[in-house]
Amino acid sequence: MQIYLPIAEMSVDVLLLLGLGAAVGFLSGMFGVGGGFLMTPLLIFVGVPPPIAVASEANHITASSVSGVLAHWLRKGVDFKMGLYLLIGGMAGSSAGVWLFGILSERGQIDLAISLLYVIFLGIVGILMAQESVRTIRRRRRNAAPAKRIRQPRWIRSLPLKVRFHKSRLYISAFLPIGVGALVGVLAGLLGVGGGFILVPAMIYLIGMPSSVVIGTSLFQVVFVTANVTFLQSVQHQTVDVVLAFFLLLGGVIGAQYGARVGARLPGEQMRGLLALLVLAVAIKLLLDLVITPDDLYSLQVTGAAK
Amino acid sequence: MMTRRLALPTLALTALLGAFLFDRADAWAQGLVADLSDHFVAITAGFTGTDVLLFGAVDEVGDIAVVVRGPERNVVVRRKDRFVGVWANSDELTFGGVPTFYALAANRPLGDLAPRPVLERNQIGLRNIRLNAIEPDVTEVEKARFADAFIRLQKKQRLYSDDLGAVTFMTGKLFRTRLVFPSNVPVGIYTVQVFLIRDGEVLSAQTTPLNIDRTGIGAEVYLFAHRHSAAYGALAILSALAAGWLAGQIFKKR
């Protein structure tokens, strides 16, 4: 069954959208990640114009993250003070991201920017995750003691303007969460991702938050930042397709249920290894697309009414 | 001075009258009548493209060429180049006021219809669409390369087509053709031009408008998003929050 997407101005198969939603939902339920970093490239791959894909995916992530935040909130798994500092950076960063998005698409460089940023960030995160899971699996084989926690880089402790975060039991510079939030915000505005794949490692290794509040607090930031991206993209570029977001959500909630069940059966380090492979696979696919000579060197963009 | 002042309104009036008379009854004097099965194509939620039937009659045997032109827009054509191993857009050319949709149907190959200057003058055929670059300083060779790419890409999206031979004569004087609009057809006012050609000359031409527009919920959503974009954004967020919360509730109980 075909459905006409009113903002994307194209008709797509409903089953394809539900399937995409379910597949990405399955993986995100299994690995506990948002899945925006998989969904945006997939949407572009099936022919949704990049500006629509990015903006609508932000809208989809708001929807798919909200019940997670509520669940973690009830379990007291959200550090609201930390979330607020992350958000200060996140709001500024995502606004800048959406603004940059407009400039880049006017210049015809947005596709390149999206692909390059994905390759860089997914590449780094994927390699780090792969390294860590290989290390833990090896150590497990040798029956050695668990690794000592990765230390915060020293320069971080010398940053000024320290603030106390009771819930996370931290006394750190306010610049740290604001900076992390801003970086992730820029990515959210440009790439249509929640940014969990950067945010969660940054919260653990850079900020040093206890794992009990990491997921809840990151979801808290993700909901507000993607809402901001949705709003700004709507106002500035009219690129949010609510029909597209709705069908992705519909497929996603069903897929996530099954993914969570499968994920619960797999041991942690294997899961992390699998996720690392998945992240690296997306990065490599995007890198190849950038490097291999394209089928057609030319592309079109309709810019507006003729005078 | 006096004659000029009089001449202008008189000319305008004559032109208006002419346009009026030309439309239907007088068209027979031109040797050609044609009409569409539909003058409005509605893009609804389930739109997957559509066909519109064009039919007509000529008073004497001749050739028919039908040109459908979509609303005109500026289109940027970009060419990728390799920078440190990565393919990126570099050179670009903007064609001003080009039709976003173009379809040609005729009852015989273009070369047999009329000599090239006649086809060019009437923009009959993909190669004869007037493509004017907005950038002034561009060589003819470059312009031709970008124009070729533009037409090739439009054809690939099924927005440009030249389905020669698609006009069929049923008797010697009645003809018909099927105009195909794909699902990605741009909205706007289209013109359907029918040319009657005999001995390589355009004897008469008739232009019929065709309106392609969104209707139903899709149209409402589109207009709302463009006219009240802040309210649309706020509603998109609220409905995402509500839908996400609802989905969470439904699956929590299981």
Dump pLDDT digits (tens) for A180-232.
999 999 999 999 888 888 888 888 888 888 878 888 888 899 999 999 999 99
Asked whether the CA dihedral B193, B196, B197, B201 is positive or negative, the reply is: negative
Q: Which of B45, B234, B247 comes nearest A249 by C-beta?
A: B247
Contacts of B94 in chain A (CB under 8 A): 303
Cβ–Cβ of B247/A242 closer than 8 Å?
no
Interface confidence, given as ipTM, is 0.83
Mean pLDDT of the B195-202 span: 90
d(CA B151, CA B25): 37
**pLDDT tens-digit series, residues B44-54:** 877 888 999 99
Contacts of B45 in chain A (CB under 8 A): 3-4
Distance from CA of B186 to the nearest CA of A (A): 8
Q: Which of A2, A234, A246 comes nearest B232 by C-beta?
A: A234
pLDDT at A97: 94
pLDDT at B4: 44
Mean pLDDT of the B223-247 span: 91
pLDDT at A168: 75
Cβ–Cβ of B248/A71 closer than 8 Å?
yes
pTM, to two decimals:
0.80
- Please determine, for residue A111, whether its predicted confidence score (pLDDT) is greater than 50: yes
Cβ–Cβ of A240/B251 closer than 8 Å?
no
Contacts of B98 in chain A (CB under 8 A): 306
Look up residue B185 and give its DSSP letter. Answer: P
Task: Tell me the β-bridge partners of B33.
Answer: B57
- Please determine, for residue B117, whether its predicted confidence score (pLDDT) is greater than 70: yes
The answer to whether B50 and B212 have CB atoms below 8 angstroms apart is no
Q: Hey, what domains does chain B have and what are their CATH numbers?
A: 27-214 (2.60.40.1930), 216-254 (no CATH)
Percent of chain A whose predicted confidence (pLDDT) is above 90: 28
CA angle B248, B251, B254 (to 5 degrees): 150
B22 band by pLDDT with thresholds 50, 70 and 90: very low
Q: Which residue of B has its CA nearest to A10?
A: B184
**pLDDT tens-digit series, residues B164-186:** 768 999 888 899 999 999 988 99
Q: Which of A6, A64, A240 comes nearest B233 by C-beta?
A: A240
- Please determine, for residue B12, whether its predicted confidence score (pLDDT) is greater than 70: no
- Please determine, for residue B105, whether its predicted confidence score (pLDDT) is greater than 80: yes
The answer to whether A205 and A232 have CB atoms below 8 angstroms apart is no
pLDDT at A307: 39
Q: Which residue of A has its CA nearest to B233?
A: A231
A5 band by pLDDT with thresholds 50, 70 and 90: confident
Contacts of A71 in chain B (CB under 8 A): 248
Distance from CA of A110 to the nearest CA of B (A): 10
Mean pLDDT of the A118-141 span: 84
User: Strand A298-305's sheet: what is its strand order?
Assistant: A298-305, B72-83, B86-99, B132-133
pLDDT at A146: 55
The per-residue pLDDT of chain A, averaged, comes to 85
